[in-house]
Amino acid sequence: MAHDPTTRGGAVAHNSVTGGTHGTVVQAGHIEHLVVQQGPPPADEVTVAPPWGRRGTPLRGRDELLARLRTAHGTHVLYGLGGVGKTSLALEAARGFAAGGAPVWWVAAQDSGRLAGGLRAVARRVGLREDELAAGQTADLLWERLGALPGPWLLVVDNADELALLDGPGSLAAGTGWVRIPAGAGGLVLVTTRDGDLAAWGAGPALHPLGALPGEEGARVLADRAGEEAGPMADAEPLAVRLGGLPLALDSAGRYLASVTERPAFLRTPGEPATYGAYLAALGTGDLAVDGDGTLARIWAMSLRLLRDRGHAHAEELLRVLAGFADAPVPLRVFAPERLTIPPGELWSCLQALDLLGLVSLRADGEPVVMLHPLVRDAYRGERERLSAELAVRVEDPKALVPLWPLLVPHLLDDLGPGVDETGWTGAVRAVRSLSARGLVLEAVERGLAVHEGAARHLPAGHRTVLAAGCEYGDALLASGREDEALHVLDRLIEESAAAAGSDELLVVRARNLRGVALHQCGDLEAARAEFTALIEGESRLLGDDDQQALAARANLAMILAQLHRTEDALAEMDIVLAAGTRLLGPDDRDTLTTRMNRAWILRELGEAETAREEAEAVVEARGRRFGPDHPDTLAARFNLATMLDPATAHAELAAVLDARTRVLGLDNPVTVATREALERTRRTLPG
């Protein structure tokens, strides 16, 4: 019997086909049952495209180094103070490579997820297959493949400020980490970082310190932003020197002056600096450096004062709130009214004003998001209050968050540790559930383990959030075909819940539902049937017949009855589930589509082959339209449909499903293995 599990929310989908051969296609034994959570179509979690659209002015004062980089090879490190222009220089170098037709990949390195995900994406771009990536030697294989590429090419690793992340599977200094020296002579690796520690980087890379711009070049940066209205270049140069030649400070000051000078003089606030000289005088008379004496804080203070003068009294409050999120775009819809005293209209205009002055980056196309400048975030780090999980969890209608989950996940999983309260762990559990619902099974397993273990360490035994975290982890394990591990996790979870006073009965029901699925995937049909039968009897009293967990148990029992050749009883049970699901959730809900596919299989077992095939085709079309072609639900439906087709068509469809599952889950995943075995059995039935 071949197993083809997909997992979602509170239940595991099983496409089940048992018995011998129907026609010339061997069936695969699988169960599908109800979905508890919904999710949007799968979305890419990383991009390796350079940020060509980044707003900027001409690069100043780096011509000599830029020329060297455009003809260089090997690994080069640009290091220096935040805001010194490292990323701008790397982007300008990338433009040169791209203009010459060379491939350019850009990997963000602010955290381990984006770094590893970006490098895996690069690995796919240079030809590595999913089964090679799944073998656990991604770093070695990536650098072997990069070293064999004909040049030129460019790989940028941006914002690699935490060098420990670059160790990856080995050691950065020893040349066995995520960043290495490419073997070939045509490739360039360019890393931007604040850390220029020679010992940490090792002997291989060439390190280039980026310092302050000289007065004349700094003045040009000011003029690029502020324009001619702010005064002559002779006045700009003393201000550039006073600002320490730091491009970020120069850019911020230039933006400020531009925002003032664009208005007629009679509309300006008295004393508001509108020229280079006036701005310099406003900074005070003490010597200003850029390495910790508060220059940027003074610049930002002037910008905030300007905003207050323009009626944006809550600008700093907004910056402090944004500092409570991860270093990633924040969707505006998560802001809780009780956390902010700013009316929605004023909130938007305040964000626009902050964006104009360069303190935040606001993107209004599509889903509105805002991202705090990392240096501004650093300024509030000491008083940062972790708000992201609380804000997201307090949204009254969870369905409103469905399009936001790809954006919310980095925030909900950010900075998990002893200081995170119950609300924070609840948000993290929801993030893991989102990963599973969107078909990101392998990441859901990895994150699910971390959240489950973390919640268990920091919350009391038997706490409902610990139980919820364990359910999500077990759910993800089942989706990845690791049913033995899932059964172990769920058994322990149920045992601990029984020993703890006041455990959440609804979550215990879900854990038992998942345990029944694990038993079925392990092949113990009688144990699974007994578990689901007991659940249906108990849940009907506790929850009511229309509860989704009760319906999930009934759907799972129906598929087991079908496998035990009690197909009439199975169809009766499945009809109950389908009627309730359609009434409660709608005909195209994810749960309802799962039930329809299960029912199609039972119909085929009853001899209604044509009706079963038509229903299966409808489910494949609906899932593909809603979730995308590579979502595990869509692939499971295509697998089941293949068992209802003629041999030649079935063989082609199974080959396509195998290719997609290898790409999504890896070569050795049990679900992929089951698909490969089904394809081989089908191949043997073909003539010739």
Co-location of 110 and 27 in the same domain? no
Co-location of 342 and 199 in the same domain? no
**Among 61-70, 405-414, 644-653, where is mean pLDDT lowest?**
405-414
In CATH, what number is assigned to the domain containing residue 355? 1.10.10
Q: How far apart are CA 431 and CA 455, in angstroms?
A: 14
Helix (H, G, I), strand (E, B) or coil at 275: coil
Token digits of residue 460: 């009391």
In the numeric block, the tokens 């490739």 are attached to 187
pLDDT at 29: 39
Q: How far apart are CA 449 and CA 427, in angstroms?
A: 15
Co-location of 198 and 250 in the same domain? no
In CATH, what number is assigned to the domain containing residue 12? 1.25.40.10
Residue 627 in domain: yes
Residue 430 in domain: no
Q: How far apart are CA 320 and CA 274, in angstroms?
A: 28
Task: Domain of residue 266: give its range.
Answer: 238-304
DSSP 7: E
Whether the per-residue pLDDT at 487 is higher than 90: the answer is yes
Whether the per-residue pLDDT at 40 is higher than 60: the answer is no
DSSP-assigned states of every residue in 307-341: HHHTT-TTHHHHHHHHTTS-SS-EEGGG--GGG--
Closest-CA residue to 249 (of 258, 237, 239): 239
- Alpha carbon distances (Å) from 665 to 9, 132, 241, 244, 625: 18, 12, 55, 51, 21
Please name the residues in contact with 622: beta carbons below 8 A apart, sequence gap of 6 or more.
588, 593
Whether the per-residue pLDDT at 396 is higher than 50: the answer is no
pLDDT at 289: 46
Distance of CA 488 to the CA centre of its chain: 28
Token digits of residue 265: 């003089």
What does the pLDDT look like over 326-341, one tens digit per residue?
888 888 877 766 667 7
Distance of CA 45 to the CA centre of its chain: 4
More confident residue, 2 or 343: 343
What's the whole-number mean pLDDT along residues 34-54?
58
What does the pLDDT look like over 568-618, one tens digit per residue?
988 988 898 888 888 888 888 888 888 898 899 889 888 898 998 999 999
Co-location of 144 and 78 in the same domain? yes
pLDDT at 39: 35
Of 283, 304, 325, which residue is a domain's last?
A: 304
Name the pLDDT band for 216 (thresholds 50, 70, 90): very high
What does the pLDDT look like over 426-466, one tens digit per residue?
888 988 988 887 778 888 898 999 999 999 988 887 788 99
Name the pLDDT band for 96 (thresholds 50, 70, 90): very high
Of 373, 393, 413, which residue is a domain's last?
A: 393
Co-location of 442 and 583 in the same domain? yes
What count of other Cβ atoms lies within 10 Å of the Cβ of residue 514?
Answer: 28
Name the pLDDT band for 180 (thresholds 50, 70, 90): very high
Residue 225 in domain: no
Q: How far apart are CA 347 and CA 354, in angstroms?
A: 11
Whether the per-residue pLDDT at 392 is higher than 90: the answer is no
Name the pLDDT band for 77 (thresholds 50, 70, 90): very high
Co-location of 190 and 300 in the same domain? no
Residue 415 in domain: no
Co-location of 158 and 288 in the same domain? no
Structural domains in the chain (count): 4
Residue 596 in domain: yes
In CATH, what number is assigned to the domain containing residue 106? 3.40.50.300
Q: How far apart are CA 494 and CA 113, in angstroms?
A: 31
Token digits of residue 527: 């144990």
pLDDT at 387: 65
DSSP 404: G
Q: How far apart are CA 323 and CA 267, in angstroms?
A: 33
Whether the per-residue pLDDT at 188 is higher than 50: the answer is yes
pLDDT at 291: 43
pLDDT at 12: 38
Co-location of 560 and 459 in the same domain? yes
Whether the per-residue pLDDT at 192 is higher than 90: the answer is yes
3-class SS string, 385-400: CCCHHHHHHCCCCHHH
What's the whole-number mean pLDDT along residues 554-563?
85
Token digits of residue 469: 């975290």
Co-location of 518 and 468 in the same domain? yes
Co-location of 204 and 260 in the same domain? no
What does the pLDDT look like over 341-378, one tens digit per residue?
788 778 888 888 888 777 888 887 778 889 887 767 76
Q: How far apart are CA 246 and CA 252, in angstroms?
A: 10
Of 284, 304, 324, which residue is a domain's last?
A: 304
Helix, strand, coil shares of the chain, percent, nearest 5, are 60, 10, 35
pLDDT at 37: 33
Residue 366 in domain: yes
Co-location of 602 and 657 in the same domain? yes
* 241 and 273 Cβ atoms separated by less than 8 Å: no
* 319 and 350 Cβ atoms separated by less than 8 Å: no
What's the whole-number mean pLDDT along residues 55-66?
86
Co-location of 649 and 512 in the same domain? yes
* 305 and 316 Cβ atoms separated by less than 8 Å: no
Residue 500 in domain: yes
pLDDT at 8: 36
Amino acid residing at 401: L
Residue 538 in domain: yes
